[in-house]
Amino acid sequence: MPAHKTTREVGTHCPYCALQCAMTLQITERPNGAVTVDGAGPASPEITVQGAEFPTNRGRLCRKGSTAAELLSSRHDRLRSPLIAETDDEGERGFREASWEEALDHIADRLRSIQAAHGRDAVGVFGSGSLTNEKTYALGKFARVALGTAQIDYNGRFCMSSAAKASTEVFGLDRGLPFPLTDLDAACTVLLLGSNVADTMPPFVQHLEGARSKGGLIVVDPRRSTTAELTAEGAGLHVAPAPGGDLVLLLALANVLFEEGYTDQRYLAQRVSGTEEFRRSTAAWWPERAQAATGVGADQIRFIARRLGSAAVRARHGGDPVFILTGRGVEQHRDGTDTARAAISLALILGLPGGRGGYGTLTGQGNGQGGRELGQKSDQLPGLRSITSPTDRAHIAEVWGVAPDSIPGPGTPATQLLHTMGTRTEKGPEGIRALLVHGSNVAVSAPDSSRVLQNLRALDLLVVADFFLSETAAEADVVLPVLQWAEEEGTMTSLEGRLLRRRRAVDPPPGSRSELWIFAELARRLGTPTGFPTDPAEVFEEIRRATAGASADYSAMSWELLDTGHAGYWPHPTTGEPSADTGRPGGPELTSTGEPIIGTPRMFTSRFAHPDGRAALRGIRPRGQAAPGAAELTFTTGRLMEHYQSGNQTRRVPALDAAHPQVTVQVHPATARQFGLTEHGLAVVENAQGALTAKVVLDAGIRADTIFSPFHFGGRGAANLLTRGLTDPDSKMPEFKNTPVRIRPATALEAAA
């Protein structure tokens, strides 16, 4: 007789992007404890959608989400015990397995020694927008309390910091989408700049169908991406400015709106300050002048402005809403904050935010929103609190049980942290001497990655916590195996500011441990006077107290309440007083389908988050982009459908890896002829930072002065070998999208390497 087996289902959310699509893991349990699904491999549960009622994905999953359970299989190089690096008699470096006791004792001893010799700030911590809220919070607390270091930042600095800075400056608050994603369904016009959602978060596309059906989807991208293709056949318009031209384009659109009377004067008078200053800064960018700077025709600029303006006028009189959305393409420049501010300003002069549409920015990483608001950012404490505010420091100190003056001040932003670590000068050490990395693969994802790799090797101690041996973990002195998504409990905050429960579905491999446990064990060894809970629910209770009264207020959420429905939007204070943004009581209400709505799904309906309740505009003046030199092109990076971040997960899923198994460079056919390139041949892309060897893909949809590669690969295929350490002066975001390079056919020797 066949062995008895049972099947159970666990509802959870996808481990990839910030949509955090709902899904169900179907797990077959056999008497011997094995977890199997026919055809999926050992310990690999089957994934189905959780149901069409979840509004973000409505029963749809992309290729990454639908294959996510492959990561739970034992056959994908899963780390199963701590590893300590050592060098043999021949000078070869390798790893040996160690017990947890030995590994943690070794780390604690080295940390004490380094800080005793070089000071508290000689140790740095690098986090991730993929960590749960509980791990994010605990990591920031561990850095500042157990280590006493100011030197903590995270990989969200590479993908959200410019829009976050701009939103804080203009709105007074940073929430990626200050409205539910489903609000986009009714839109008549959507201006989407610098985001290829059809590849990076495919279930998002269904929310653009309303705008497409009305011919109102406008996509701004220097290449004809999969998202730009959605504008075909009367569905909208694709605009291809020169890389770095988005800022001038936005100012030119605002110029036309002011000059032709499309602005909402009543809204501006009641809810916005600084309008005249912003208007004066747009006066210099009439369409004909902007055409020369952007490569977008003056007539096309006027057409887009009039489309937006007339749609906004109709929206004021009960028509369909209008939205302006931005992604990394407008942010990852030296003027990324100004460009995001220009997009927000455009939305404000049309009177959109707070009811007739709005502005939103599309967070990339799974917990990109929660990751930047719960304390791992170098200048913030939990709840989007400022680390320089005495009031905020006092509140967090009380929660942590420490003195306010014991909490370190602002640390060094990510790029600068990585580019100075391990370096020495005649005066002594310049950067940190030890680094703890959690959930990030900086050897691939950071700009000027050759420099980062060199600096990693110069550290006195590198500790990496991961579930696979990433390129960064391969350089570590100690590697700690940790839990992944379906093996742990926790919460995530999606791009909508929606809190979601992540649930444990399967047992982790023997030998792996929760990072909460690791923080607690290291803190104990370091003699930390305050506790570090290891239960995620207990950590969440501490998050509630830490964020109470803050901008990102989680205090009225609860572990149990998040199990009663899908929606839980911050801010949601415990007071029960009517929200300044919604006018509704803080307690739960129901949607038309009976789903509890917790918190504030729509922000800014009556006031913005500045003390005077008004949005704050000011003048924006482009600094000017350095044009590529003779025989140079502009190199830009991004992701393809099957890719996610540095590839540490998706490169291990056979179906995803087979779709794009090697690095490619997308080139216009005319550019290929100019430089002697052939389709499917190998090309070398190079500059002063390094060289990348990639297969040529011809694409007539990309600008002739621009080439594109995914940043998904490591080694000689790493796109960030070429990107520079230049950053936006306000947000400190790297300039990934505008790198001058040369391109040529690979030599026979280079092709064979």
What is the pLDDT, as a whole number, of residue 626? Answer: 67
53 within some domain: yes
Query: What percent of the chain has a predicted confidence (pLDDT) above 90?
Result: 69
Asked if residue 43 has pLDDT above 50, the reply is: no
- 467 and 451, same structural domain? yes
Half-sphere exposure of 540 toward its Cβ, with a 13 Å CA cutoff?
A: 23
446, 437 Cβ separation under 8 angstroms: no
- 273 and 309, same structural domain? yes
Which has the closest alpha carbon to 570: 498, 475, 473? 498
Q: Which residue has the higher pLDDT, 373 or 26?
A: 373
Residue 418: φ, ψ to 5°? -75, -30
Span 406-429, pLDDT tens digits: 999 999 999 999 999 998 665 555
State the Cα–Cα distance between residues 400 and 603, nearest whole angstrom.
30
371, 131 Cβ separation under 8 angstroms: yes
What is the pLDDT, as a whole number, of residue 41? Answer: 35
- 382 and 342, same structural domain? no
Tell me the torsion sign for CA atoms 244, 248, 254, 260: negative
- 381 and 340, same structural domain? no
What is the pLDDT, as a whole number, of residue 355? Answer: 83
Q: Please enumerate in sequence order all residues whose Cβ is within 8 A of that of 426, keeping only pairs 6 or more positions apart, or say none.
A: none
- What single-letter DSSP state applies at residue 673? H
- 244 and 182, same structural domain? yes
Query: What percent of the chain has a predicted confidence (pLDDT) above 70?
Result: 91
35, 487 Cβ separation under 8 angstroms: no
Report residue 3's pLDDT band, with 50, 70 and 90 as the boundaries: low
What is the pLDDT, as a whole number, of residue 582? Answer: 37
- What single-letter DSSP state applies at residue 241? P
- 16 and 130, same structural domain? no
CATH code for position 107: 3.40.50.740
477 within some domain: yes
Average pLDDT over every residue of 1-27: 80
DSSP string, 684-715: EEE-SS-EEEEEEEE-TTB-TTEEEEES---G
What is the pLDDT, as a whole number, of residue 752? Answer: 72
Number of domains in the chain: 4
Span 532-554, pLDDT tens digits: 999 999 999 999 999 999 999 99
Span 305-362, pLDDT tens digits: 999 999 999 999 999 999 999 998 888 888 999 999 999 999 999 999 998 899 999 9
613 within some domain: no
Look up tokens 């056999």; give the residue.
30
What is the pLDDT, as a whole number, of residue 4? Answer: 55
CATH code for position 183: 3.40.228.10
What is the pLDDT, as a whole number, of residue 580? Answer: 37
- 310 and 411, same structural domain? no
- 441 and 371, same structural domain? yes
Report residue 661's pLDDT band, with 50, 70 and 90 as the boundaries: confident
Q: Cβ atoms within 10 A of the Cβ of 405, count?
A: 10
- 393 and 302, same structural domain? no
**Ranges of H-type helices in 73-132:** 100-118
Q: Which residue has the higher pLDDT, 752 or 617?
A: 617
Cis peptide, bond prior to residue 178, ω within 30 of zero: no
Structure tokens of 591? 């949607």
State the Cα–Cα distance between residues 532 and 706, nearest whole angstrom.
49
Span 441-468, pLDDT tens digits: 999 999 999 999 999 999 999 999 999 9
- 172 and 314, same structural domain? yes
573 within some domain: no
Report residue 751's pLDDT band, with 50, 70 and 90 as the boundaries: confident
Structure tokens of 43? 């310990």
Say which amino acid occupies 690. Answer: G
Average pLDDT over every residue of 403-407: 96
- What single-letter DSSP state applies at residue 87? E
Per residue, the 3-state secondary structure of 155-205, as one string, reads HHHHCCHHHHHHHHHHCCCCCCCCCCHHHHHHCCEEEEECCCHHHHCHHHH
Tell me the torsion sign for CA atoms 546, 549, 551, 554: positive
What is the pLDDT, as a whole number, of residue 644? Answer: 78
Structure tokens of 741? 């390079």
Span 391-402, pLDDT tens digits: 999 999 999 999
State the Cα–Cα distance between residues 724 and 464, nearest whole angstrom.
24
User: Domain span at residue 92?
Assistant: 83-157+367-483+508-535
Asked if residue 165 has pLDDT above 90, the reply is: yes
What is the pLDDT, as a whole number, of residue 34? Answer: 38
State the Cα–Cα distance between residues 221 and 227, nearest whole angstrom.
9
Q: Which residue has the higher pLDDT, 559 or 461?
A: 461
- 407 and 308, same structural domain? no
Asked if residue 27 has pLDDT above 90, the reply is: no
At 670 the three-state DSSP class reads: helix
**Ranges of H-type helices in 422-579:** 442-445, 449-458, 515-525, 536-547
Structure tokens of 218? 């406008």
Q: Are strands 615-616 and 272-273 parallel, antiparallel or unpaired?
A: parallel
Q: Of 311, 329, 361, which residue constitutes the final position of a domain?
A: 361
| Range with lowest mean pLDDT among 11-15, 419-423, 581-585, 714-718 | 581-585
State the Cα–Cα distance between residues 736 and 431, nearest whole angstrom.
23
Q: Please enumerate in sequence order all residues whose Cβ is within 8 A of that of 410, keeping only pairs 6 or more positions apart, or say none.
A: 150, 378, 379, 387, 388
pTM strictly above 0.85: yes
Asked if residue 431 has pLDDT above 60, the reply is: yes
At 668 the three-state DSSP class reads: coil
Average pLDDT over every residue of 92-100: 94
52 within some domain: yes
610 within some domain: no
Span 198-222, pLDDT tens digits: 998 999 999 999 999 999 999 999 9
What is the spatial order of strands in the sheet that 322-326 belongs to? 236-239, 217-220, 189-193, 322-326, 357-361
27, 520 Cβ separation under 8 angstroms: no
Asked if residue 279 has pLDDT above 50, the reply is: yes
CATH code for position 10: 2.20.25.90
Indicate the average pLDDT of the chain: 89
Structure tokens of 74? 């034992």
What is the pLDDT, as a whole number, of residue 544? Answer: 95
Span 502-538, pLDDT tens digits: 999 988 988 999 999 999 999 999 999 778 999 999 9
Q: Cβ atoms within 10 A of the Cβ of 491, count?
A: 25
State the Cα–Cα distance between residues 183 and 252, nearest whole angstrom.
27
Average pLDDT over every residue of 70-82: 81
State the Cα–Cα distance between residues 263 and 721, nearest whole angstrom.
44
Report residue 436's pLDDT band, with 50, 70 and 90 as the boundaries: very high
727 within some domain: yes
What is the pLDDT, as a whole number, of residue 748? Answer: 83
Q: Of 72, 94, 125, which residue constitutes the final position of a domain?
A: 72
Quote helix, strand, coil % in the chain, to nearest 5: 35, 20, 45
State the Cα–Cα distance between residues 28 and 44, nearest whole angstrom.
10
| Range with lowest mean pLDDT among 7-11, 392-396, 424-428, 706-710 | 424-428
- 176 and 88, same structural domain? no
**Ranges of H-type helices in 446-486:** 449-458
Span 124-160, pLDDT tens digits: 999 999 999 999 999 999 999 999 999 999 998 988 8
Which residue(s) pair with 569 in the sheet?
498, 599
580 within some domain: no
Q: Please enumerate in sequence order all residues whose Cβ is within 8 A of that of 477, keeping only pairs 6 or more positions apart, or say none.
A: 84, 85, 110, 459, 461, 462, 463
